């Protein structure tokens, strides 16, 4: 049980670090983008990973990963 809790904690920590890294990268990029284009850049940054996975034939794996992340976030 403790090992499972530790594994869950480790997964949560990785998830938090991944989100923080993404936010830091976005903030850095947006410094060089005019304010009126920020929304477009953020939207593009959301679609690029999906398009990449599709281009290498892993769209189903990406969809499963997104679904799992959504479940973890909301459930």
pLDDT tens digits along 23-50: 999 999 999 999 999 999 999 998 998 9
**Is there a single domain that holds both residue 47 and residue 74?**
yes
**Is there a single domain that holds both residue 27 and residue 41?**
no
Average model confidence (pLDDT) for the chain? 86
Span 10-29, average pLDDT = 90
Residue 1 has pLDDT above 60, yes or no: no
**Is there a single domain that holds both residue 42 and residue 74?**
yes
Alpha-carbon span 7 to 66, nearest angstrom: 20
Q: According to the model, what pLDDT value does residue 6 have?
A: 58
**Is there a single domain that holds both residue 51 and residue 65?**
yes
Domain count, the chain: 2
Q: Which residues 6+ apart lie within 8 Å of 50 measured at CB?
A: 59, 62, 66
Residue 20 has pLDDT above 70, yes or no: yes
């Amino acid at each position: 049980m403790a090992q499972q809790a530790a594994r869950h904690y480790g997964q949560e920590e990785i998830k938090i670090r991944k989100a923080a890294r993404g936010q830091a990268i976005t903030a850095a990029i947006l410094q060089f983008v005019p304010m009126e284009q920020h929304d477009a850049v953020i939207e593009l940054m959301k679609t690029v990973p999906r398009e990449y996975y599709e281009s290498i034939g892993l769209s189903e794996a990406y969809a499963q990963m997104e679904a799992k992340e959504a479940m973890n976030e909301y459930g």
